[in-house]
A and B are shown apart, each in its own frame.
Chain A
């Protein structure tokens, strides 16, 4: 397999076959907490992908310089730096979204997808593969959180990205917007993913 083909393969794997959410059960906290509307989900997906790709780049470039004993500390420092940048950029782009996401923008630091990427892939691989790998996982995460956001907003409040879909007489399923709805929707998506993958192994 040529290198180009291999890199593309890494990217696609992260989106479906090794989806960080559905297969590896990582990054659950932001996935459940900020998927109550499409807008929140979209910004969370973008922010996470940004941090993921950038930290993977830096970790991969510095992989031979970081001593083994303090590597986790170094990775966390790198990640925290990019999260701080994201936080300030988000405040500048949209204060409304920043307020809606609340502490969860800062909490990207402890998203296990990102630390997992640094520890198990970027620290052992060259720049290009790790960027592709990170990007694929970022897209995979965004895909998961967007599907949850869409389901919860469309059914739960009858709108998509704030635009009302079914008119004023729609009876909203408020439960899906509430915390417990997050668990239910994720459970249903897990079932769906399991079903689809079982048919085509």
Chain B
């Protein structure tokens, strides 16, 4: 059992150990879907939702696997649960918002291979969080992911208008911006210890 308070877990996963900028999880959507603020926000919400569901499921599965003494199945069962959750979310989005489904496109099924989600499940197990702590952790991580994505999207919308050397156009420029952003987030390091 882990004694960290819920507030600490939340702030820590949201800012201090931001999943994207200090753990490097979920970089693919971070680089791929951060072109427009609108899409970024929806992507963030979808990822947060999948994270919450799969975190809950992972707590249950871990309990079951410990009971059955079959921990070597951990990775396989986590990833299967995540894949099915993503499928579920995909169906829901397709039913209620065709436009959003089109906008997210290929990145929707790719949420499965978003390492941030598997990361949440693995970290909560490694740190022995109880189900409530896990949920708060997943919420913080999801919101942190959304926050990073939104900041990046905002910056990129402005960068469209900037004149940069032609060689740096595209990925290299985004990576430089991400590096500076990550330095900014290092400023939170002293908080909470």
**Which residues of A are interface residues toward B (Cβ below 8 A)?**
25-26, 28-29, 32-33, 72-73, 76-77, 80-81, 83-84, 87-88, 103, 106-107, 109-112, 115, 175, 178-184, 186-188, 190-191, 194-195, 198
Q: Pick the most buried of A25, A28, A183: most chain B CB atoms within 10 A of its CB.
A: A183
Residues of A within 8 A of B57 (CB): none
Q: Could you tell me which residues of chain B, from 107 to 132, have a CB within 8 Å of some CB in chain A?
A: 109-110, 112-115, 118-119, 122-123, 126
Q: Which 3 pairs of residues, A with B, have the shortest CB-CB distance?
A: A183-B179, A187-B175, A33-B24
Cα distance, A110 to B109, chains bound together (Å): 12
Contact: B75 with A182, CB < 8 Å? no
Q: Could you tell me which residues of chain B, from 1 to 55, have a CB within 8 Å of some CB in chain A?
A: 21-28, 31-32
What are 29 A-B pairs with beta-carbon distances under 8 A?
A25-B28, A25-B31, A28-B31, A29-B24, A73-B83, A80-B79, A103-B123, A107-B122, A109-B79, A110-B79, A110-B113, A110-B115, A111-B113, A111-B115, A112-B28, A112-B110, A179-B21, A179-B22, A182-B179, A183-B175, A183-B176, A183-B178, A183-B182, A184-B179, A187-B173, A187-B176, A190-B171, A190-B175, A191-B167
Cα distance, A188 to B175, chains bound together (Å): 9
List 12 additional contacts besides A33-B25, A76-B83, A191-B172; criterion CB under 8 Å.
A72-B83, A106-B75, A107-B122, A109-B79, A109-B118, A110-B114, A111-B113, A179-B182, A182-B179, A187-B179, A195-B167, A198-B167
Residues of B within 8 A of A184 (CB): 175-176, 179
